[in-house]
Amino acid sequence: MSLCSQTAHQLHTQLKNRNITATQILSDVYDRIKQVEDQIGGYITLAEETAFEAAGIIDQRLQNGDDLPKLSGIPVAIKDVICTKGIRTTCASKILANFIPPYDATVIEKLKKQGVIIVGKTNMDEFAMGSSTENSAYQLTRNPWNTSTTPGGSSGGSAAVVSADTAILSLGSDTGGSIRQPASFCGNVGLKPTYGRVSRFGLIAFASSLDQIGPFTKDVRDSALAMNAICGYDPMDSTSAKFDVPDFENSLINDIEGLKIGLPDEYFLDGISQEVETSVREAISQLEHLGATIHRISMPHTEYAIATYYIIAPAEASANLARYDGVRFGYRATETNNLESMYKLSRSQGFGPEVKRRILLGTYSLSSGYYDAYYLKAQKVRTLIKKDFDEAFEAVDIIVTPTSPTAAFEFGARTNDPLQMYLSDIFTAPSSLAGIPGISVPCGITKDRLPIGLQFLAPPFDEETLLRVAYTFEQNTDHHRQKPQLN
């Protein structure tokens, strides 16, 4: 079994026993990148030189007999929306094509303290706006299970590199489903923590009240290890929550006897793929067999979630992206003769079509005469959606849903129909609006050999129960052991 195909916890055991070195793991990962990256296109930037320097330091510490943290020496990929000191960070946009951050995001500082090795920065939808990674200014990222299909988005590169074994684990960001939906499409585990659980300092903002950093991993145990590394209060982030961080690995108990699991009627709609619904209902039967009790619940405001999300998120994006004006940093148009034309040309040339669409939508909904009709009303509906979840969690411990209404779709299938693309997030956007944690785990394969994801949702700051349920399901099925066949 190659080193690059193993989990972080498997590799840690071998490192601890001095059976392998960090340099050997990293070499195997980069060999794999050379073999398959031209098929996948998962990375925008590789950091090979600094990665091998970091691996050498870990190996020296191993020789010295140091007792290293569990993620030391593990090669990790980072979504290109998270600032990395000295490593180009583009947000997959022309407007930041040459931006090299002078500082690390808080999550990067935390990972470096753990001895993690950064392999490179992964491709994404520009400024995290998209559900297919087709909106990147640089390249397409292809799904390792079928390279004619998308890996999902916006964190498609981070999902694809874990499935293709060109990283052991990765970080992404989730605004309306951008970790969970790609995890579903690529057959790995994707966890969106509670809003405020992980610092957003150094995460380049899309929608500040929604964005949250989380991990992609090959199994649930690795998700717990990643959460142990990245969670915690950060005074640099005004939205960071002062909650104690438990040892999430202690949550990995193979037992859900007596747990109450809610099954919302509104998440099984017309238009959901029959294969997805069949796999999800089989998974629910398995949970019941394992001792959980299934309770039908209603979340009546779910139908308004997509409309609400696509008012609030673009409005926040409109404000956040105003800083890219060609003056302070980023792309600046040269063929200008006054300040106004420099602003206009820098932004029109620097941003791609989807980013421009969302800036226009957001600016419109915030404009005089429309603020009350759109943005204010959307915020009120957001409160009702959160109330649905609050009331549901008074009756049940966990909620289970499909992650996405379909498996991965082909390139170009939805690019000319933005509404259909936006509906890809119909099962993930409500929980993002409510700020609660969610995880997607593999639960099946379509007849065309594409993965299907199962989503668990938990009350705020109850990632422990979330991981326990996901781990129990994983330990009693073999879906997570299925791998794509790449030449």
For the annotated catalytic residues, the residue numbers are 79, 154, 178
* Alpha-helical runs (H) found in 89-187: 106-113, 156-163, 180-186
Mention every residue, 6+ apart, whose C-beta is less than 8 A from residue 457. 389, 398, 399, 400, 401, 431, 436, 437, 438, 466
Report the C-alpha gap between 83 and 80 in whole angstroms. Answer: 8
Report the C-alpha gap between 208 and 199 in whole angstroms. Answer: 12
Q: What angle do CA 91, 199, 472 make, to 5 degrees?
A: 100
Give the Cβ contact number of residue 295 at 10 Å.
15
- The answer to whether 148 touches 134, Cβ cutoff 8 Å, is no
Q: What is the dihedral of CA 15, 18, 19, 25, to 10 degrees?
A: 40
The bridge status of strand 438-445 relative to strand 398-402 is unpaired
Amino acid at 88: R
- Give the largest Cα separation in the chain, rounded: 71
CA atoms within 13 A on the CB side of 338: 2
| Residue located via tokens 């996405």 | 404
Estimate the share of the chain in helix, then strand, then coil, as percent rounded to the nearest 5: 45, 15, 40
Angle, helices 8-16/22-40, rounded to nearest 10 degrees: 150
Identify which of 363, 336, 325 has the alpha carbon closest to the alpha carbon of residue 95.
Answer: 325
| Residue located via tokens 């060609």 | 326
Which helix (H) or strand (E) element contains residue 174? Answer: strand 169-174
Report the C-alpha gap between 451 and 132 in whole angstroms. Answer: 15
Report the C-alpha gap between 341 and 235 in whole angstroms. Answer: 39
Mention every residue, 6+ apart, whose C-beta is less than 8 A from residue 64. none
Which helix (H) or strand (E) element contains residue 214? Answer: strand 212-217
Q: What angle do CA 66, 67, 73 make, to 5 degrees?
A: 90
Q: Which two tokens stand for residue 159?
A: 């999902």
3-class secondary-structure state, position 396: coil
